[in-house]
């Protein structure tokens, strides 16, 4: 049995068309990500970065203009999915970008844990995610949610079905 392993971080450079396809899928085709205002900042095999700009429709506590906890958890969940897509894409660099994009159809959340460390108040937020383990059936991830000042506001961990 042949086993495919994930290349070491930093050894894979994605083609511009693969990154563009991931951004289109993530920012346009997943309509809920549009509702969150979630934008892709960077996509690397070792991790992804996104951004959410604060706006009135995301307020969870009106007195403090604090972002809703559901926005935080949904954003972290989405970023974990993107990190898994990047890791799967890096694992299959022998395929065309279009072939790699077809591998994401069965990706889904199994388990998600979010720890809210500090109130999320600010003009924008940065979200980061990385894959801790990518198996043939399940992936494990770690996520972080930062304020505009770089302060860590929330963390997350998740398990995802990949096949």
Residue 150 clears pLDDT 50, i.e. is over it: yes
The per-residue pLDDT for range 30-70, each reduced to its tens digit, is 999 999 999 999 999 999 999 999 999 999 988 888 999 99
**Tokens in use for 16?**
């511009």
Residue 147 clears pLDDT 50, i.e. is over it: yes
User: Which residues, other chains included, contact 52 with Cβ-Cβ below 8 Å and sequence gap of 6+?
Assistant: 36, 37, 38, 39, 58, 67, 71, 75, 124, 125, 127
Residue 115 to residues 39, 127, 148, Cα–Cα distance (Å)? 22, 14, 19
The predicted pLDDT at position 64 comes to 86
Average pLDDT over residues 135-157: 97
The predicted pLDDT at position 38 comes to 98
Residue 3 clears pLDDT 90, i.e. is over it: no
The predicted pLDDT at position 10 comes to 52
Residue 118 clears pLDDT 70, i.e. is over it: yes
**Tokens in use for 140?**
């494990």
Q: Which residues pair with 124 in a beta bridge?
A: 53
The per-residue pLDDT for range 96-113, each reduced to its tens digit, is 999 999 999 889 999 999
The per-residue pLDDT for range 14-34, each reduced to its tens digit, is 999 999 999 999 999 999 999
Burial bucket for residue 83 (CB in 10 Å: 0-12, 13-18, 19+): buried
Question: What does the alpha-carbon distance between residue 104 and residue 88 come to, in Å, rounded to a whole number?
Answer: 8
pLDDT tier, 6 (very low <50, low <70, confident <90, very high otherwise):
very low
Residue 4 clears pLDDT 80, i.e. is over it: no
If you average pLDDT over every residue of the chain, what do you get?
Answer: 93
The predicted pLDDT at position 63 comes to 87
């Amino acid at each position: 049995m042949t086993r495919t392993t994930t290349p070491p971080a930093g050894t894979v450079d994605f083609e511009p068309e693969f990154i563009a396809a991931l951004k289109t899928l993530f920012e346009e085709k997943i309509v809920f990500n549009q509702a969150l205002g979630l934008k892709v900042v960077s996509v690397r095999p070792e991790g992804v970065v996104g951004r959410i700009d604060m706006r009135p429709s995301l307020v969870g506590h009106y007195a403090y203009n604090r972002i809703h906890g559901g926005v935080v958890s949904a954003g972290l969940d989405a970023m974990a999915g993107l990190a898994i897509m990047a890791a799967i894409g890096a694992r299959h660099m022998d395929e065309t970008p279009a072939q790699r994009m077809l591998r994401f159809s069965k990706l889904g959340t199994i388990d998600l844990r979010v720890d809210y460390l500090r109130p999320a108040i600010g003009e924008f937020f940065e979200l980061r995610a990385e894959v801790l383990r990518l198996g043939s059936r399940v992936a494990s991830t770690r996520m972080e949610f930062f304020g505009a000042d770089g302060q860590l506001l929330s963390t997350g961990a998740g398990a995802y079905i990949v096949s």
